[in-house]
Structure 1
């Protein structure tokens, strides 16, 4: 697993602006073309420029795995069509929910999902149908925003430093990964998904991420 320290929009909170899996790196419309191509090359995947709800905040407004994509209810039809055209064979839907920040309430990989306890039965059912995984409802370290405090690929998960042993065990089981550990990014930020974009090949982390933090990232996110 290669790990690269980067800035997006001169901001180390790179997970606010991007999402990735093994096929695609999603970056906002208007992102510098050459830098976007270079980042996609580092991630070992293709590049897709897009918006959600006309914004560049892709991380909080979208989750995806190899089966499907769930976006905020605020996404417009043109944005859904861009995703469907780029991901033939995947189900792409708006999450039918009053919540906006889908990415803050779900942590997913190709094998499972951890879902906020703020999501009700009908929302969980849609998550499971679209992503074709079982979703485990829980809080982590007292936070309902499980997607903000977990970053995952198909081999591991990095989790808020105050998560309990029981929570680590549940997350490991839900995502079907063995390598789970507590950590921070960008020099102590516990909301780990804001500081990382990860797939099964590589990870981009915020430029303020320290050496000890990089060590944990490399240990947890082995090739999936």
Structure 2
């Protein structure tokens, strides 16, 4: 397993534009083939171009594990059908007025962590992603999906997460968890990390000590 530094549209905030699981990586339509191919090579997955609600912001607008993909209610029918066809996953719109579902839910194949704001959508989250759902805020923030990045081998949590919160992240996702930052101290992990059980891709500003922590957490 390896960790690679990467930029997307010359930005280290790669997680805003990309979503991945163990089989595919979603990138925006029109993104350069050479860069897309390199990203797919790093993660050892197939490449799928996509949009959500007409935007390139795939990270904040989607939740994905190896079972399914959740999109916001504003996603277009053509986008849903396209993703079903290309990924062969269970793809559904989340029945909620909240649109940045990727910022509100973190998931792997063992569990999902969701913002308390989505309690009414819990059954649908469980059905689409095929995992039990746990609700919590982290470090005083409700954007749980921004605070946690988890694979089937490990999870990183916002550096302000308490010991109890880190323990709950570990229990919910069924993997070891530790506090972490990315891109030289950014605490919102999903903005700069795209990971699966094969490899990890991080923003280009990620520092040496952060890479060491990630190697331990994700067993890279």
Give the TM-score taking structure 2 as reference length: 0.98
User: How far apart are the structure 2 equivalents of 1:13 and 1:91?
Assistant: 27
Residue deviations 1:113-139 (CA, integer Å, cap 9, x gap): 001011123x01110111111110110
Aligned to 2:59: 59
SS in structure 1 of the partner of residue 169 of structure 2: helix
Aligned to 1:74: 74
Residue deviations 1:109-165 (CA, integer Å, cap 9, x gap): 0110001011123x0111011111111011000000000010110011011001011
Aligned to 1:189: 186
SS in structure 1 of the partner of residue 48 of structure 2: strand
Matches within 5 A, 1:83-162: 83-88=83-88, 90-121=89-120, 123-162=121-160
Residue deviations 1:150-181 (CA, integer Å, cap 9, x gap): 0110011011001011111111111011x211
Unaligned stretches of 5+ residues in structure 2: none
More deviation, 19-28/214-223: 214-223
Unaligned stretches of 5+ residues in structure 1: none
**Structure 1 residue runs of 4 or more that deviate by more than 4 Å after TM superposition:** none
Residue deviations 1:15-65 (CA, integer Å, cap 9, x gap): 000000111011000000111011101110000011111110000000111
SS in structure 1 of the partner of residue 186 of structure 2: coil
Q: 1:198 aligns with which of 195, 209, 215?
A: 195
User: How far apart are the structure 2 equivalents of 1:31 and 1:145?
Assistant: 27
